[in-house]
Amino acid sequence: MAKVLYTAHAHVTGGRDGHGQADDGELEVNLRIPKEMGGAGGGTNPEELFAVGYAACFESAIGGVARRRRIDAGEVTIASEVSLLPTGDGGFKLAVTLDVHLPAVGDRETAVDLVRGAHQVCPYSNATRGNIDVELRLDGEAI
């Protein structure tokens, strides 16, 4: 087994209509079922948390790939979407879209290469690969 670099610890009570917090006290959220799913809203939900986490991790992965290739990626912006879909057999699955904006990288081919490289090293990408659909976009266009 590989050396563990970090382990996050959190506790949730009440599920989608509950409360969650990280053990270090740095994250504390009220969880609510979104209005679009018949809930009251007024809090976050697992899909929003996943969208923020994946985008943050993916942005760091782009930075790492760029540094290794001696490319200045500049300021990176990622718009992430996490959709909850029925599987048709009573279960649910996720689908993700990551739309990356790399204004400091003038060459589209280089930018696409950075995004694809990040998708190979990002822990979220590695955890979801083959399990859910992940669409990568650059400035709104699928790559």
Delineate the domains of the chain, giving CATH numbers in brackets. 1-44 (2.20.25.10), 46-142 (3.30.300.20)
pLDDT for residue 41: 94
Pairing mode, strands 133-138 and 77-86: unpaired
Question: CB 119: neighbour CB atoms within 10 A?
Answer: 21
What are the structure tokens assigned to 88, written together?
């048709």
Average pLDDT over residues 65-86: 97
pLDDT of residue 142: 98
According to the model, what pLDDT value does residue 1 have? Answer: 76
Residues 6+ apart with CB under 8 A from 104: 72, 73, 74, 75
Residue 122 has pLDDT above 90, yes or no: yes
Q: Residue 89 pLDDT > 80, yes or no?
A: yes
Question: 3-state secondary structure string, the chain?
Answer: CCCCCCCCCEEEECHHHCEEEECCCCCEEEECCCHHHCCCCCCECHHHHHHHHHHHHHHHHHHHHHHHCCCCCCCCEEEEEEEEEECCCCCEEEEEEEEEECCCCCCHHHHHHHHHHHHHHCHHHHHHCCCCEEEEEECCEEC
Rounded to two decimals, the pTM is: 0.95
How far is residue 43's CA from residue 35's CA, in Å, rounded to a whole number? 10
What are the pLDDT digits (tens) for 6-32?
999 999 999 999 999 999 999 999 999
